[in-house]
Structure 1
Amino acid sequence: MKTKLLIALCFFCYTAKAQTDSLLATMENSETKTEPVTATFKSSHLILSQTTAMVKKYNLDFQVGHRFGDIGGVDGGSKTFWGFDNSSDIYIGFEYGITDRLNIGFGRSKYEQLLDLQLKYAALRQTTDDKIPLSMSLIAKTGFTPYEVTTDVFDNYADRFSYFVEVLLARKFSPRFSLQLSPNVLFRNVTLSPDDEKTLFSLGGAFRYKFTKRFGVVVDYNHVFSQYRKNNPNTNYYDPLGIGIEIETGGHVFTMNFVNAPAIVENNFIPNSTSSWLDGEFRFGFTISRMFTFHRTKTNPSNYEKR
């Protein structure tokens, strides 16, 4: 299954690149100058989802994410200062621009001590004349759990790996409003329950609405297609949902949010979200993105694509 996923991703990337090159050649020969749409999103991460925003060549994006404990519910309330005494996940990650279209990323999570390595490729970029109506990026990620989790479930070394593949489809409809859909698949070599699917398909959706140049609201949702979860309601799995505000302060992008998913990385929050908004089992969290530029030129003075 893993081999098939990797072969399919490689074929998809090759096909997308060929189509992109063909479209670019056509646009270069056109009398009307075609410009790519910029700042569909301000950061490569929203709340749950990654976005089609890319880190430019020679730039490094340093990311810190934090999720506190439940505000309400059994584990929330005043005894935990509404979740601020606890932290369900802390994430530290780096994303580097190999080229303007190809990024490599690495991160570490508190949740299950997950280490992740990913590649991200911008296959299409929306243009101002709508010759290309949307942006498309491809993500391939490998997750590795180096230590024990809740139970001793790893019979061999390979059981510690999981694999995630995602297609990001985004469109900037106006200077204020951007929308994204992100079909994805997660494959795990082992599951905590023998009845749980090792392969999980899900569909993410997110949007951003800007009130001012530097301030906006973001909403992020992911629906998991799982017969195990559908047929066993007592397992108490819930779709991750996040609501927050996004603030840009020069080189930083700061997001404050409320979300029911305890984990930050897709390999963890897609299969393991067991908190319910209706029961008060949502938590406060934030994400900070700081860009560092290692090669500044007159033609490329900015960090992310121009906002």
Structure 2
Amino acid sequence: MKKYLLLLALSFTIFKLSAQQKGSSADSLLNALNAANKPEPAHVAIFSSSRLILAETNETVKKGNLNFLVIHRFGDVGGPFGGGQTLYGLDNSSDIYIDFEYGLGEKWDVQFGRSKYQQLIELGTKYTLINQDADGSPFAVSLLGKFGLKPYKNDGSFNKYSDRFAYVAQAIIGHKFSKSFSLQITPTLVSSNAPQPVVTGNEKTFFSLGAAARLKVTKRMGIVVDYAHSFSSFRDNPPLGYQFYDPLGVGIEVETGGHVFTINFSNAKAISPSNYLADTRSNWGKGEFRLGFTISRIFDLSHRNKNNY
């Protein structure tokens, strides 16, 4: 009798352990399936557009989309070239920049731009290494590269054709602190085969560090500040007759559904970083700043009805 009771107890124990193991296996499989089906963390859009006032943002144009930008700088509001005689700069334009940005991938776009300033033609590309998201990275990192060519300007500045080339390499590091406040810094390397202005001692290559921020005051409107400083011994100690200033822009950004519109004031005449980082000689204190605007419009060439940023 004891033998049969012992056999029954042993059988029950084995059945119980087997059931527990099956339950554990089922739980593990269920957990694995849930993990596989778990959606990836959502990309946090730090800024509303790929451009601020001076700098680009870490936002790239999504695959199959085309971003068309018109960027304009008028003339000086004050100073010897401003005032009522030029309607406070509205009669003049220091630079006009037309740009096309096309998304080759969800994190990669290519750019083509044309600037009035020194008739610059510019090719560029931007790639996002890291996106800010709720469950992962607290910041976003994008890399930007630009190649510039001045094919028409001929004032004796270029001894050979390669002197017309200029290059920009930039890292864009951004963070959205809240629904209202976003900040980015932009370490930048600028190089030119024939640096402007053409003055003895001007470096072909120098480093710059920029910072930009946006503070939203309503759901669709924010205040934007954009600043950069160039670390250059030539610009810190310029030759007689030259004085360089750090480019600074302040403005208001407005989102209007399909457009992002920025109206701003800046002491930078040029729009391309290879120009405004190298050669900003306008002084805010003397009224040598100008009204400008940027209009950004996204076209979905892939016919996907999705948000672009």
Q: Scaled by the length of structure 2, what TM-score is found?
A: 0.85
Match of 2:5 in 1: none
Distance in 1 between the 2:171 and 2:146 partners? 12
Give the alignment partner of residue 272 of structure 1, picking from 267, 273, 279: 279
Match of 1:144 in 2: 149
Distance in 1 between the 2:37 and 2:300 partners? 34
Which secondary structure state, in structure 1, belongs to the residue aligned with residue 56 of structure 2? Answer: coil
Identity %: 49
Match of 2:218 in 1: 212
Which secondary structure state, in structure 1, belongs to the residue aligned with residue 235 of structure 2? Answer: helix
Q: Does 1:284 align with 2:291?
A: yes
Give the alignment partner of residue 231 of structure 1, picking from 234, 237, 249: 237
- Give the drift of 1:293: 0.5
Give the alignment partner of residue 156 of structure 1, picking from 141, 156, 160: 160
Q: Does 1:171 align with 2:175?
A: yes
Structure 2: which amino acid aligns with 1:263? A
Give the alignment partner of residue 188 of structure 2, picking from 174, 184, 188: 184
Contact 1:55 1:303 in 2 (8 A): no
Distance in 2 between the 1:258 and 1:170 partners? 23
Which secondary structure state, in structure 2, belongs to the residue aligned with residue 158 of structure 1? Answer: helix
In the TM superposition, what are the counterparts of 1:1-307 in structure 2 within 5 Å? Answer: 34-129=40-135, 131-148=136-153, 151-191=155-195, 192-232=198-238, 234=240, 235-297=242-304, 301-305=305-309
Distance in 1 between the 2:229 and 2:259 partners? 30
CA RMSD of aligned residues (A): 1.6
Runs of 4+ with deviation above 3 angstroms: 28-34
Deviations 1:216-253 (A, max 9, x none): 11000000001011122742110000000000111100
Distance in 1 between the 2:39 and 2:231 partners? 43
Distance in 1 between the 2:36 and 2:290 partners? 51
User: Structure 1 regions of 5+ residues with no counterpart?
Assistant: 1-27
Question: Bigger radius of gyration, 1 or 2?
Answer: 2
Which secondary structure state, in structure 2, belongs to the residue aligned with residue 179 of structure 1? Answer: strand
Distance in 2 between the 1:296 and 1:189 partners? 42
Q: Scaled by the length of structure 1, what TM-score is found?
A: 0.86
Distance in 2 between the 1:49 and 1:216 partners? 16
User: Structure 2 regions of 5+ residues with no counterpart?
Assistant: 1-33
- Give the drift of 1:36: 3.2
Distance in 1 between the 2:36 and 2:140 partners? 20
